[in-house]
Amino acid sequence: MSPKCLRDSLRQALHRREAKLCRRKLTVLPSSSVDFSSNDFLSLSTSPALRARFLDHLKQAPPLHPFASGGSRLLDGNSAYAEELEDFIAAFHNAPSGLLFNSGFDANVGVLSTIPQPGDLIVYDELIHASAHEGMRLSRAGKTVKFSHSSPESLKTVLRTEITSEPQLLEAGRNVFIVVESVYSMDGDVAPIREFIEIVDRLLPRKNGYFIVDEAHATGVFGPRGAGVVQQLGVEDRIFIRTHTFGKALASHGAIVLCCPDTRDYLINYARTLIYTTALGFPFLASVRTAYELLIDGETEQLQRNLEQLIRYFRSQLERLTSWGSSTFEVDHFTSSPIFSLRSRVPRRLASFCQQQGYIVRAIMSPTVPEGKERVRVCLHAGNTVEEIDGLIETIEMWLHQMERKAARL
């Protein structure tokens, strides 16, 4: 294919997306707009306390301390600082050990592409993140099967069906991995992890069912001092791997995989997303350390409480809006979650109306969410104010009135 042909085919693909109203575009919204979109749930990215501590960490580094890591963890990119940070975070999460990755994406790909062995079965929630799908695509597991989102009944059915068609799955030496998130990014709902554990214990009595739980959206927000849902439930011992990411509520970058030392060692030997990439440099490690110090010292607990209050307030205001029965608008919300889903047939119009009024919210379209489940995603932050929430509610109300007037004219 000549370069021109290639460019033509790329353009055609983009035109097809445009025609289906699902072409993705990078956007920069004015910094004066109010953030109701980012995953900065605790507003730590603008926290003076975080900034002061972080700068202090940087200043404490000895002169000429390298700010770049200089290579992969396996070559020159390792440091006592990185290893101490892993132990520090693992202790907070009540885990035997931890391994840093450059991102949650890398962590999920690293874990899922290496840990399941040939012949193993992976059973996954249908709404797990794209990075887990990428990891499974590269995995050597014999089979991957999805179950309906957060449905214990569906997990039971899938496991029973697989065990019936392949009774060897009950034998030692064959492994079954159950892959879930603790809090889902689009609906903000919390997975019924306890119920899942009961089912797996019952159906796999030889204890060869291994949970892999992605806590990306729970980190910092859910559980004691933001330690996550697994610790909130006290089921750390039953989870084979937990992944916490630092790019959301922790206002940093990277991720940690919490696991037993053997699993950590195996990942160091086989996970290509760890082996063949430059490790996080000192400033990133220091910013992760800073965020965890704030969690451990309890300095984020007040932020967690602010956030909870704002969630309750926004929810009550939305209930008022939906109670006047507009058919253009529905709200999905899981109690205590900062993520709200405003379901509309025209989410792009609602999002752009809010953006014009100075409120950053985003339309989430298929294929990021299943077709028919397009929505405007609203994320609350500890630093949002009641006045900002009132402003957003007023804006949504104005838009609903406009939609009604338009519908009446037709």
Does residue 255 bind ligand PLP (CB under 6 A)?
A: yes
Ranges within 288-317 binding ligand PLP (CB under 6 A): none
Does residue 214 bind ligand PLP (CB under 6 A)?
A: yes
Rounded to a whole number of angstroms, the minimum distance from the CB of residue 165 to ligand PLP is 30
Does residue 103 bind ligand PLP (CB under 6 A)?
A: yes
The beta strand positions in 291-388, using DSSP E, are 330-333, 339-343, 359-360, 362-364, 375-379
**Amino acid in the structure at residue 56:** D
Distance, CA of 294 to CA of 225 (rounded, Å): 9
Nearer to ligand PLP, 79 or 108 (CB): 108
Rounded to a whole number of angstroms, the minimum distance from the CB of residue 403 to ligand PLP is 31
- Among residues 108, 139, 150, 287, the one that binds ligand PLP under rule CB under 6 A: 108
Nearer to ligand PLP, 364 or 396 (CB): 364
User: Total binding residues for ligand PLP by CB under 6 A?
Assistant: 14
Q: Which residues contact 280 (CB under 8 A, 6 or more apart)?
A: 69, 82, 100, 102, 253, 254, 288
Specify the stretch interacting with ligand PLP by CB under 6 A; choose among 104-112, 291-299, 364-372, 399-407.
104-112
For residue 4, with 0-12 CB atoms within 10 Å meaning exposed, 13-18 middle and 19 or more buried, which class applies? Answer: exposed
Does residue 341 bind ligand PLP (CB under 6 A)?
A: no
Spatial contact of 41 and 304, defined as CB atoms under 8 Å apart:
no
Task: Provide the 3-class DSSP secondary structure of residue 62.
Answer: coil
Q: Extract the tokens encoding 55.
A: 């700068």
Specify the stretch interacting with ligand PLP by CB under 6 A; choose among 11-19, 27-35, 143-151, 210-218.
210-218
Asked if residue 367 has a cis previous peptide bond (ω within 30° of 0), the answer is yes
Distance, CA of 330 to CA of 36 (rounded, Å): 18
Does residue 247 bind ligand PLP (CB under 6 A)?
A: yes
Does residue 216 bind ligand PLP (CB under 6 A)?
A: yes
Nearer to ligand PLP, 189 or 214 (CB): 214
Specify the stretch interacting with ligand PLP by CB under 6 A; choose among 99-107, 203-211, 306-314, 371-379.
99-107
Whose CA is closest to 128, among 210, 193, 214? 214
Binding site for ligand PLP (CB under 6 A): 103-105, 108, 129, 131, 181, 185, 214, 216-217, 245, 247, 255
